[in-house]
Amino acid sequence: MTTIDLTDTSASAVSSALINARRAAGNQAVGMVLTFVVVVDEATHYDAMRSALDAGREHPSRVLVVITRPGRGPARLDAEIRVADSRPGDTIVLRLFGELAKHADSVVLPLLLPDTPVAVWWPSKAPPVPGEDPLGVLAQRRITDSAASSQPIRALHQRAVSYQPGDTDLAWTRLTPWRALLAAALDQMPGATVTAATVEAERSNPSAEILGSWLGGRLGVEVTRRASSGPGITLVQMTTSGGPNIAPGDVVLSRPDGILAQLDLPGGPIRPVALRRRETAELLAEELRRLDPDDVYATVIKGCAPTERSA
Amino acid sequence: MRRDSEEPSGNPLRDPQDRRLPRIAGPCGLVIFGVTGDLSRKKLMPAVYDLANRGLLPPGFALVGFARRDWADQDFAQVVHESVKEHARTPFREETWKQLAEGFRFVQGDFDDDVAFDTLRKTIAELDVARGTSGNHAFYLSVPPKFFPNVVQQLKEHGLADSQGGAWRRVVIEKPFGHDLASAQELNRIVDEVFPTGSVFRIDHYLGKETVQNILALRFANQLFEPIWNANYVDHVQITMAEDVGIGGRAGYYDGIGAARDVIQNHLLQLLALTAMEEPVSFEAHALRTEKQKILSAVTLPDDLDLHSARGRYGAGWQGGIHVPGYLQEEGITRTSTTETFAALRVDVETRRWAGVPFYLRTGKRLGRRVTEIAVMFKRAPHLPFTSTATEELGANALVVRVQPDEGVTVRFGSKVPGTAMEVRDVTMDFAYGESFTESSPEAYERLILDVLLGDPPLFPRHEEVELSWQILDPVIEHWETLGAPETYAAGTWGPPSADEMLARDGRTWRRP
């Protein structure tokens, strides 16, 4: 691991220092598949960077950690370059002081890898319209996390009204295993019609809202919401009318402890199924697998737009 | 908003656009015969666990072990636990284990034991109720081929092969698929009698490897390579599968089989088919198979096998700093054995694309290092506007698909050496899987087991391909059998001198992989 600190520097100086560091370490910038921009504040940057680096094991990338420190001091860029021997890709922590904090794109743009996609992630606070943010504009994929906001449901509403192709939210990513199990459950009941659905979750859980929107949209039923003490989503129930050779009954997927769930299908035994809440790095790795707009998310998030009832 | 009427599955939660949703196998169980064997402990059980850990196995999945040991279900679970802890690729998680553990069953018995197969039938019926496996079961025959007929017959007699309603029964067999054309046909007859063709999965684990599947992506997803992928630009192709180990404790299996039957018949001819075939009209199983069969049926052997084939047997020697015994000194090998541990063969592919381009196949044990690769060697540039001294060090361009280890692709081409003089030397451009993709890509067995459970056959050779491969190889083996003992090569080298002579006759040399 080579670390180089540069204070009061510029993007071009960072760029040439990076090339020198890599040459010294003997590994070249081969195999990197994307640039991953992480926009954080000083307090949370360590955890976010760890997650980004872990995700980078699956998607070797150049990680640019952008820490803005606006204030009255002079505009200044400090950079910390890390080239690891044990991991593909490289990491640059950029600290933007004073006036420069408003012009992060001017620092990031020259450091993007040529001809490869760019993803940007706001681990906590996201801009109101990610697609119009100066850094967001540079990216094919803009990842927010409404659950990390201090007001998750309000953040989710904001995501819904500000959606642009390429946006995605980790509250949606967290649902993939749930959705996979629910879809697989209905695979086993061909012809059965779902007449009602319920989602039970902790209060202010944006994933539950999104799951409700997805189920409601796909199944064409009203989805009942129930509050529980969590963690996260604790139960999904789909009432089916039965079909040819299928008895009517409820599909119930419940997970009281956030780790091990139970699946109950009409006419079948109750079966345990692993449904652990995933680490942020795993969520990011899933996000980075596809960098084209997620059309399913687009439909679902629009269904989460604020209404009079929820506002 | 509702689009269920458009979907073939009729499942409103499925949407072709929703590419995040993985395909989870439907409710089902896997029965492993020979569950105490090495393959089962090191590959199959860990692969089952890894699949569960990735959320790809259905809740209620059942794993039934069948072997001679006197075990209870708990003992079996303990063995699986140990094998998973030791060999699984993904981290051990208690909740994944809980999901699986309730579905473990063990049935004790021999392959000719009617009572045991009756117990197996009852066990499966019980699982259908207790775990909701709905009558869907795959039988994995991880046993020596001589037991195949026995087990398959038993499955038939005890009604285990019959599927009822919408349920399925599938059978998985491992190579070798016979030891010549006649025995392969006999095996196919036995299996086909009991299971319909679509329910027989022949596992060649090489075809489950990411790099092998990447041959298709490399060739057919890119504009760059296909235009030069023919006799106009390609001089010849070398396909190598080298092992650094000897036969170890597998004398009983290996002696009398030899390198050609063990490796060329399946792995190398499959790699040849993927390298040489025309573009399939789709990546559906039947389309891929059609193209592979076309190529295999166009493969011809040289007229004089003595000049264009080589075989060898490793002698004692130093390999990587360790003194290793020769083949004849291995435990369980008789002094009169004529089995080859190295085989090299030239074949030609009689199509317009490959006319005049020889494919050299070689495989062996106790070679320089463990490596599998496909090297497409290009012709030299027709004219070099340099002085001959400038290009003295320049070889031919090459594109190498590294199948294992260090999976990736290498391109070799000439580049100017820095300095005032004009001098051109070979350099390589490398793509390594480990760099651009996940540090641990799924094991071949994970992919293959999941495909069996999903009923997805593209990666499994059909019996037609197996029989075509034997048709290619049978004359070679028959010829070799008339020749007596193979030539000895020192362990740790790249095979016998006759292999080098065989290429020298064509004015070529083997790549050192």
Paired tokens of B296: 């295999």
Total structural domains in chain B? 2
Classify residue B351: in a domain, yes or no.
yes
Query: Is residue A150 packed enough to be buried (19+ CB in 10 Å), middle (13-18) or exposed (0-12)?
Result: exposed
Average of per-residue pLDDT across B24-37: 89
Q: How many helices and strands (H and E) does chain A possess?
A: 9, 14
In a domain, B111, yes or no: yes
**CB-CB: which of A31, A180, A219 is closest to B55?**
A180
- What average pLDDT does the segment B135-142 reach? 91
Averaged pLDDT, B61-76:
91
Per-residue b/e over A125-145, b at no fewer than 16 CB within 10 Å?
ebbebbeebebbebbebbbbb
CA distance A34 to A292: 13
Phi-psi region of A245 (alpha: psi -120 to 50; beta: other; left: phi over 0): left
Domain assignment present for residue B461? The answer is yes
- Most confident among A49-63, B289-303, B425-439 (mean pLDDT): B289-303
Residue B149 shares a structural domain with residue B227? no
B52 and A274 in contact by Cβ < 8 A?
yes
Same domain (yes/no): B150, B247: no
Inter-chain CB proximity A269 and B2 less than 8 Å: no
Sheet with B104-108: strands ordered across: B104-108, B62-67, B29-33, B137-141, B169-174, B200-203
The answer to the question of residue B153 being in a domain is yes
Q: In this complex, do B59 and A180 lie within 8 Å of one another by their Cβ atoms?
A: no
SS3 B183: helix
Whether B226 and B290 share a structural domain? yes
* Bridge partners, A194 (sequence order): A240
Element (H, E) at B500: helix B497-505
* Chain A contact set for B19 (CB, 8 A): 290
> Which chain A positions have a beta carbon within 8 Å of B20's beta carbon?
173, 176, 179, 286, 290, 294, 296
Count Cβ atoms below 10 Å from residue A157 Cβ, excluding itself. 21
B308 is catalytic: no
| Phi, psi angle pair for A90, to nearest 5° | -140, 165
Could B129 and A269 be called an inter-chain contact, meaning their C-beta atoms sit closer than 8 Å? yes
Domain containing B383: what range? 208-505
Q: Are residues B222 and B161 in the same domain?
A: no
Asked if the Cβ–Cβ distance from B2 to A220 is below 8 Å, we say yes
The residue among B387, B391, B394 whose CA lies nearest residue B412 is B394
CB B301 within 8 A of CB B475: yes
What's the CATH class of domain A2-170? alpha beta
pLDDT given at position A87: 65
pLDDT of A78 reads: 93
Does the CB of A226 have a partner CB in chain B at under 8 Å?
A: no
Average pLDDT over residues A110-120: 89
CA distance B42 to chain A (A): 23
Query: Can you tell me the mean pLDDT for A93-97?
Result: 94
Q: Is B9 on the interface with A (CB under 8 A)?
A: yes
pLDDT at B78 over 60: yes
B320 exposed, middle or buried (CB, 10 Å; 0-12, 13-18, 19+)? exposed
Please enumerate in sequence order all residues whose Cβ is within 8 A of that of A281, keeping only pairs 6 or more positions apart, or say none: A50, A51, A52, A54, A55
What 3-state DSSP class applies to A19? helix
* Interface probe with B: pick from A187, A195, A223, most Cβ of B within 10 Å: A187
Residues 6+ apart with CB under 8 A from A309: none
Tokens representing B278 are 């025309």
What integer is the mean pLDDT of B55-67?
Answer: 90
Mean pLDDT of chain A: 88
Q: Is the pLDDT confidence value at A276 over 70?
A: yes
Give the separation between CA B266 and CA B275, rounded to whole angstroms. Answer: 14
Any idea what the CATH number is for the domain that residue B135 is in? 3.40.50.720
| pLDDT on residue B508 | 92
Mean of pLDDT over chain B: 87
Q: Which amino acid is at A141?
A: R
Smallest CA–CA distance from A295 into chain B, residue:
B17
Task: Find the closest chain B residue to A191 by CA distance.
Answer: B10
What tokens were used for A83? Answer: 């080239």
Q: What is the three-class DSSP state of B86?
A: helix
Are B302 and B238 contained in the same domain? yes
Nearest to B430 among A30, A58, A177 (CB): A30
Residue B3 pLDDT more than 80?
Answer: no
Residue B330: pLDDT over 90: no
The pLDDT of residue A310 is above 60: no
Residues B40 and B36: their CA atoms lie apart, in Å, by: 7
pLDDT tens for B288-323 read 889 999 999 999 999 999 999 999 999 988 887 888
Sequence-distant (6+) residues with CB within 8 A of B459 are B207, B208, B213, B447, B448, B451
Q: Which residues of B touch A194 (CB under 8 A)?
A: 12
B341-364 pLDDT, tens digit each: 999 999 999 999 999 999 999 999
Chain B: give the shortest CA distance to residue A20, in Å. 19
On the question of pLDDT at A155 being above 80, the answer is yes
Cβ contact B12–A186 (<8 Å): yes
Does residue A161 sit in helix, strand or coil? helix
**How far apart are the CA of A273 and the nearest CA of chain B, in angstroms?**
5
Total Cβ atoms within 10 A of residue B306? 12
Q: Do A274 and B12 make contact, defined as CB atoms within 8 angstroms?
A: no
How far apart (Å, rounded) are the C-alpha atoms in residues B146 and B256?
Answer: 14
pLDDT at B442 over 80: no
Give yes or no for a contact between B218 and B401, defined as CB atoms under 8 angstroms apart.
Answer: yes
Count of C-beta atoms within a 10 Å radius of residue B204: 22
Query: What single DSSP character describes residue A222?
Result: P
* Residue-level pLDDT at A142: 96
Question: Residue B219: its pLDDT value, please?
Answer: 93
B 100-119 near A (Cβ less than 8 A): 102
* B342-349/B309-315 β-pairing: antiparallel
Whether B181 is covered by a domain: the verdict is no
**Domain edges within chain A:** 2-170, 176-274
Residue B256 falls in which region: left (phi positive, over 0), alpha (psi -120 to 50) or beta: left
Residue B10 at interface with chain A, using a CB cutoff of 8 Å: yes
Residue A273 forms beta bridges with which residues?
A261
The verdict on B125 and B237 lying in the same domain is no
Cα separation, A304 vs A161, in Å, equals 9
pLDDT at B332 over 80: yes
Report pTM: 0.83
What pLDDT does A21 receive? 77
Most confident region among A96-105, B353-362, B383-392 by mean pLDDT: B353-362
Q: Does some domain include residue B230? A: yes
To the nearest whole Å, the CA of B183 is away from the closest chain A CA by 40
CATH number, position B300: 3.30.360.10
B431 close contact with A: CB closer than 8 A: yes
Query: Do the Cβ atoms of B21 and A176 come within 8 Å?
Result: yes
* Range in A39-43, A235-239, B283-287, B292-296 with the lowest mean pLDDT: B283-287
Q: What are the residues facing B108 on neighbouring strands?
A: B67
| Percentage of chain B modeled with pLDDT above 70 | 97
Q: Give the span between the Cα atoms of B365 and B244, in whole angstroms.
A: 6
Q: Does residue A70 belong to the interface with chain B, where contact is any CB pair within 8 Å?
A: no
B14 touches chain A (CB under 8 A): yes
Q: Is residue B17 part of a domain?
A: no
Indicate the residue of B15, B18, B93 with minimum beta-carbon distance to A274.
B93
pLDDT above 90 coverage of chain B, percent: 42
Residue listed under structure tokens 């083997």: B510
Over range A116-140, report the average pLDDT.
93
Which chain A residues are closer than 8 Å to B26 by Cβ? 184, 187-188
Does one domain contain both B323 and B236? Answer: yes
Residue A31, chain B, CB below 8 Å: the answer is yes
Average pLDDT of span B132-147: 87
Q: Same structural domain for residues B170 and B225?
A: no
Q: Which of A58, A274, A290 sits opposite B438 (nearest CB)?
A: A58
B377 contacts B236 by C-beta, under 8 angstroms: yes
B13 CB within 8 Å of a chain A CB: yes
A190 reaches B (C-beta below 8 A): yes
Tell me whether B91 touches chain A (CB under 8 Å): no
**Yes or no, beta carbons of A218 and B2 under 8 Å apart:** yes
Q: Residues A7-19: what's their mean pLDDT?
A: 86
Query: Would you say residue A32 has pLDDT above 80?
Result: no
Q: How far apart are CA A54 and CA A66, in angstroms?
A: 18
Q: Residues B457-463: what's their mean pLDDT?
A: 79
- Chain A: give the shortest CA distance to residue B461, in Å: 28
Nearest CB among A30, A190, A276 relative to B95 is that of A276
CB atoms near residue A199 (< 10 Å): 26
DSSP calls for B255-290 = TTTHHIIIIIIIIIHHHHHHHHPPPPSSSSHHHHHH
CA distances from A307 to A211, A275, A303 (A): 17, 31, 10
Cβ of residue B383 closer than 8 Å to a chain A Cβ: no
Q: CB pairs below 8 Å between A and B: how many? A: 129
Element (H, E) at A274: strand A270-274
Both tokens assigned to B151: 């087990």
Helix residue ranges per DSSP H, B178-316: 181-194, 210-220, 251-254, 258-259, 269-276, 285-298, 305-308
Residue B6 domain-assigned (yes or no): no
Q: Enumerate the residues of chain B whose CB falls inside 8 A of the CB of residue A273.
A: 59, 99
| Same domain (yes/no): B348, B294 | yes
Are B170 and B212 found together in one domain? no
Domain shared by B321 and B401, yes or no? yes
Residues B335, B386, single domain; the answer is: yes
B81 neighbors B43 (Cβ within 8 angstroms): no
- Among B98, B132, B436, whose Cβ lies nearest the Cβ of A268? B132
Q: Is the confidence at residue B242, as pLDDT, over 80?
A: yes
Question: Which residue among B22, B60, B437 sits closest to A180, beta carbon to beta carbon?
Answer: B22
Looking at the complex, report in whole angstroms how far the Cα of residue A40 sits from the nearest Cα belonging to chain B.
25
Q: Which two tokens stand for residue B133?
A: 């496996």
A61-69 and A90-97 beta bridge pairing: parallel
Q: Residue range B374-402: average pLDDT?
A: 85
